[in-house]
Amino acid sequence: MALLALGVVFGDIGTSPLYAFQTAVALTGATDATGVASLIVWTLFLVVAVKYVLLVMRADYNGEGGIFALMALAFGGKPSAAMDRGFLALLMIFGAALLFGDGAITPAVSVLSAVEGLATVNAAWASYSLPVSLAILVALFYSQRFGVARLGGLFGPVMVVWFAVLAALGAWQIFLEPGVLEAFNPALAAELLARGGWGAWALVGAVVLAVTGAEALYADLGHFGRGPIVRAWKWVVFPSLVLNYLGQAALVRRLPEAALETNLFFLLLPDPHWRGALVILATLATVIASQALISGVFSLASQAMDLGYLPRLYVKHTDAESRGQVYIPVVNAVLAALCILLVLGFRTSDALAGAYGIAVTGAMASTSVAFAYVMVRCRGLAAWKGAFLLVALLCLDLPLFGACLTKLADGGVVPLLIAAGVGVVMLTWRKGRDLVRRSLDERGASLARLEQVAGDHGTGRIPGAQVFVLRQSDPDYAAARVLEQFRRMHVLPENIAILLLNSAWGKPFAKADNIEVRRLAGGLSVITADHGYMREPDVPLILRRAIAESGLELEESRVFYILAQELILTCPRRLMRRWESVLFGFLARNTLPGPDYLAIPTERLVVYNWMLRLQG
């Protein structure tokens, strides 16, 4: 698993030596090369090793990591509770949306920087960088359907070689210039920042490039678990990165003119005849770097759906041993389109560099606030200790985020616009669902009310049976749909079953498991069933099992299955703006109950939308 994590989680941060030190030392000059190395090494240690590995990665929600896992912890897994928390909920959503933006820009800049490096082998190849980059991006996003476990199995060995080369190149240069080891003294980094004045902001903005993949460690927690990620970081990634950054500083100390080179990293290899092979390896590594953010975005999208901040999309689980390994075709297609547009729009990695970093540093700051809140609210940390923890974490994050804000005019606004779009979608969906639920509650919709109506001898009944299918565990919400049908039609079928589907943890291939049946008055019953997360639920099979195990008086061949979705038809402007109701309606109409509609025979399937007129 640690090997797989190397190929999926650490690609982004592992390829930062290609450009991070070069960008920073170009601002300071060769005389401050050791100070730059010190600043990068201590930033890596404090941000990644201390903040994420030692602290934040311990806060998981059912094995999942990322900003939405913190939201689930903070609000007890109840998304409606988050909407009442104001600023904190908005901050978490903003942080998650920023990671979506970073997930779009990271593959573009990584692939471009890799392919442009091939021009150092042959200048004539420079004209092919754009079409080759597009071809690699298409292949990368197409391969996502095979799952991160298989991709990690391919990428992992490549990244092992990559980190070994990083360490070897750096160690050789340190051997030639051992004085660079004084970079371990943090006073050098502090002195460099103090001398820089306002110009230090630009330097910090360059150093951010060394930690842009840090949030992926936490976002990908559900893919591999904390143990393998921590072991890979401790024994492979961190030592290799430190050795390479020190090696680049050592090279600049020996050859000051190297600080002006645009391909400083490749000069670490003394023999120019082998640089072609190094460029090819770097190309593979930077392509792999894109995977860290892509898989992290899949995890975030899946968590957003679980918490009710995105409509239910088709999620394909790609590994039976880890519930967190998912592939979401719609999200993959959107990311692919954005990446291709970014490559076509900016055309070079230098042009994209201005947009790189601002999204992930904003997400890191949001994570710090949410983590401190969770530690106080859920883990029993004293309030004063939580305040101290928050201040300490923000002292790391806010300078990095502030430095990246200086890049807004150079393209930094692009990931912010993407994040704004994602945030609007999430907030609008959550707001619309809450308004629909509130409207149904105001009509007295509940399971108890439905039982009362069904048991009333004056209620009109018609022959037949209907099964209302929901992919959640709230019987009151399902009852609201039945009552809405009764309000409109003034009759109920003789037999009504509410089927609540839950995805079972730890049982990837279960077809129908843990079936519970509650019989209520008036031919009403509630069925709760688990299904394996590696397969979509087979609703007819679950119903047959429920009939066989509980003796329900239902004739399965005559049952009609109801899949209903409420839409907002009209809504007072003070509750939802016109554009919000239009967006919510579009999202709701395109929410798919499941592949092939949960294996329900088409002749017994009823799919409809209730059009609601909200009052207020």
Enter the pTM of the model. 0.75
507-542 per-position pLDDT tens digit: 544 556 678 888 888 888 888 887 655 556 778 888
Q: Does the pLDDT value for residue 167 go beyond 80?
A: yes
Residues 385-398: b if buried by 16+ CB within 10 A, e if exposed? ebeebbeebbebbe
Token pair of 533, please? Answer: 């997360």
In single-letter form, the type of residue at position 66 comes to G
Q: Which DSSP category does 49 fall into? A: I
Q: Are 257 and 188 in contact (CB under 8 A)?
A: no
In single-letter form, the type of residue at position 171 comes to A
Residue 273, class by beta-carbon neighbours within 10 Å (0-12 exposed, 13-18 middle, 19+ buried)?
exposed
Q: How far apart are CA 190 and CA 29, in angstroms?
A: 17
The per-residue pLDDT for 178 is 93
Strand, coil or helix: what is 611? strand
Helical H segments across 44-86, by residue range: 67-74, 79-82
The per-residue pLDDT for 509 is 46
The per-residue pLDDT for 81 is 46
Q: How far apart are CA 500 and CA 433, in angstroms?
A: 18
Strand, coil or helix: what is 592? coil
Please determine, looking at this structure, whether the domain spanning 2-431 carries the CATH number 1.20.1740.10. yes
Q: In the chain, what are the helix, strand and coil shares in percent, each to the nearest 5?
A: 70, 10, 20
Q: In the structure, what pLDDT confidence band is assigned to residue 79 with cuts at 50, 70 and 90?
A: very low
Render 400-434 in DSSP notation, one character per residue.
Answer: HHHHHHTTGGGTTHHHHHHHHHHHHHHHHHHHHHH
Q: Are 74 and 227 in contact (CB under 8 A)?
A: no
Angle formed at CA 66 by CA 64 and CA 69, multiple of 5 degrees: 55
Q: Does the pLDDT value for residue 350 go beyond 70?
A: no
The per-residue pLDDT for 134 is 87
Domain layout of the chain by residue ranges: 2-431, 445-613
The per-residue pLDDT for 507 is 52
Q: In the structure, what pLDDT confidence band is assigned to residue 82 with cuts at 50, 70 and 90?
A: very low
Q: In the structure, what pLDDT confidence band is assigned to residue 408 with cuts at 50, 70 and 90?
A: confident
Q: How far apart are CA 247 and CA 263, in angstroms?
A: 14
Q: In the structure, what pLDDT confidence band is assigned to residue 80 with cuts at 50, 70 and 90?
A: very low
Q: Does the pLDDT value for residue 450 go beyond 80?
A: yes
Percent of the chain with pLDDT over 70: 84
- Interval 165-184 mean pLDDT: 93
Q: Does the pLDDT value for residue 88 go beyond 90?
A: no
Q: Does the pLDDT value for residue 258 go beyond 80?
A: no
Q: How far apart are CA 64 and CA 299, in angstroms?
A: 8
Q: How far apart are CA 103 and CA 505, in angstroms?
A: 27
Most confident of the ranges 47-51, 282-286, 312-316, 409-413:
47-51
Q: Does the pLDDT value for residue 185 go beyond 90?
A: yes
199-245 per-position pLDDT tens digit: 788 888 888 888 887 877 787 777 677 888 889 999 999 999 999 99
- Interval 442-470 mean pLDDT: 81
**Can you state the angle between helices 238-254 and 148-176, rounded to 10 degrees?**
40
